[in-house]
Amino acid sequence: MKVVRFACVGGIGFLVDVATMFLLSSYIAPIPARGAAFWAAATSNWWLNRHITFDAGDTAQPMRQWGRFIAVSCIGFMPNWGCYWLLMHSVDVKQFVNQYPELNHLALEMVWPVAAMVPGVLLGMLTNYLLADRWVFRAAAA
């Protein structure tokens, strides 16, 4: 079933997103690291969806297809990024840790940027699937 494969590819993309964000966060702030990680995850999702989910790997014009997939990903990224930004700016992790001193401050600061990603990822997934199925990969097969 395509939607299950799409969700599995999205799970792999989430891992790419998180790994890239953590790597970049060693050098830049979490918000720009999150933005840059989007590009790595969207590109890996395009390639995996092209070959696994929609079986469109042998179609012509892969760069046009990639461009469409990136456009679709940008549409899905709007609620994704908005939700992440809101959670990162509305939750004061330091204040939370001060209220609950039994919590590990460092672990919470490391886990929170990842936990804040999850709701946004889920918000963008349905939009991405519908547009990828009906525009990106159908257009390549036609």
In this prediction the pTM is 0.71
Tens digits of per-residue pLDDT, 13-53?
A: 989 988 999 999 999 998 899 889 989 999 999 999 999 99
Q: What is the mean pLDDT of the chain?
A: 86
Q: What's the pLDDT at 139?
A: 57
Contacts 24+ apart (CB under 8 A), 63-67: 64/140, 65/136, 65/137, 65/139, 65/140
Containing structural domain, residue 69: 2-141
When pLDDT is cut at 50, 70 and 90, the band that residue 140 belongs to is low
- Assess whether pLDDT exceeds 80 at residue 7: yes
Count of domains forming the chain: 1
> Are 49 and 6 within 8 A, CB to CB?
yes
Amino acid at 31: I
